[in-house]
Amino acid sequence: MTISDAQVNAIFSEIGIKVDKITKISTFSNYLFKAETNDGTYYLKIYINKKDSRSGYKLSNLYPLLSKKGISVPKVLKFDDSLNLIKHPYLIISEIEGERLSDSFGKLLKDELSSSYYELGKIIAKIHSFSFEAFGETYDGKTVTGFSEIGGKGPFKSWKEMHKEIVDHRLSYFKGTYFQDLIEPIRLWFKSRTHLIDYNITPRLLHIDINKKNIFIKNNKITGIIDFDDAFVGHNEEDLMRTESAIIDDREFKDSFFIGYTELIELDENYEQRKIFYYLSRLLVHIDCVIKYGNKYVKNVGKEQEIIRKEINNILTEKPVNFNKNKKNT
């Protein structure tokens, strides 16, 4: 797919905005352009086809709903899948003020960071406060449909049932790879621990990719959260574990985060016991990305595979596991 500057200009002209500068941004999943204008800076996501643009449709609905809840997210200027102006669907969103937490982290004092983590806990709790009747995926913030990652299966009344489908799907990528021999041990490990999620779990909206690159900060305040492309309806603990392992490397920060979070949503009993369960579940995503993208995803595929195998073996043999992956920004 090739998108010219003239096409980008035409898209913005359609909504009355003149573009001064266009920058192509490298990304795995779609074509992304940064458009600097006299009216501010915007981002244009262009999708290959209508099927590929479902995440754009999702964002065009979720962002306004999240904004009404007091969650700072990009403003949606336009989503268009008519293919009239160009032969591809596209989404235009505003830029979030400030800089990424990954860039500002080292500049903040510890008490400033502690305050930011408290604020982040409250923000994620607001995201999780969107609850539903079933598990799966939502494109409009109201109706739950099948989960795209597992081929559109669902929606599911039980999180236990949906999680099994997710694990089976992620393990299917292992076939014929360096990790093939781990398929059955991992499957059996999850099966023996199904009781951990066999209770009445509330279906909640999950961001599922909270990391330092998706959080923006200005004047020591969080100004926004981006990248809800993979958001789905699941168990909030998977999001909490993902957030902990991705960005929290200090006990004080963790305490601040959960103080903020639990002001709005109480943790389910025995959350700490289920962290390793969800940690392995998300580790399977990392493995799938290593398999799919190779050196485009990690610098040294062979070394990363060895690290992952050791980590999985530690889990399977109940050895201590280091949850903190924030130093890698994964």
Split at pLDDT 50, 70, 90, the class of 106 is confident
* pLDDT 10s digits, 234-261: 999 999 999 998 888 889 999 999 999 9
Instruction: Specify the CATH number for 99-328; select among 3.50.50.60, 3.90.550.10, 3.30.70.990, 3.90.1200.10.
Output: 3.90.1200.10
pLDDT at 328: 43
What are the boundaries of each domain within the chain? Answer: 5-94, 99-328
pLDDT at 30: 61
Name the average pLDDT for the chain: 94
Split at pLDDT 50, 70, 90, the class of 26 is confident
Q: Indicate if the pLDDT at residue 330 is higher than 60.
A: no
Selection from 231, 238, 309 nearest residue 279 by Cα: 238
Cα of first residue to Cα of last residue in the chain, in angstroms, is: 28
- Residue 40's alpha-carbon distances to 18, 90, 197, 269, in angstroms, are 10, 19, 46, 46
Strands (E), 129-250: 137-138, 144-145, 204-206, 215-218, 221-225, 232-234
Calculate what percentage of the chain has a pLDDT beyond 90.
87
Residue pair 85/11 in contact (Cβ under 8 Å)? The answer is yes
Query: Which of helix, strand or coil describes residue 56?
Result: helix
Weakest-pLDDT range from 68-77, 106-115, 254-263, 309-318 = 106-115
- Alpha helices by DSSP H, listed for the chain, are 5-13, 54-68, 101-104, 110-128, 159-172, 183-191, 236-247, 251-262, 271-293, 301-316
Query: Which of helix, strand or coil describes residue 33?
Result: strand
* CATH code that applies to domain 5-94: 3.30.200.20
